[in-house]
Amino acid sequence: MNLKKVLSPDTVWVDLKADTKQGIIEEMIDRLLAAGKINDREAVLKAVLEREAKMSTGMQNGVAIPHGKSDAVTGLVAAIGLNKAGVNFDSMDGSPSTIFIMTISPTKRTGPHIQFLAEVSRLISQPAERDKLLAAKTHADIYETLTGK
Catalytic residues: 67
Amino acid type, 44: V
Specify whether the CB–CB gap between 142 and 7 falls below 8 A: no
Other CB atoms within a 10 A radius of the CB of residue 149 amount to 7
Q: What is the DSSP letter of 118?
A: H
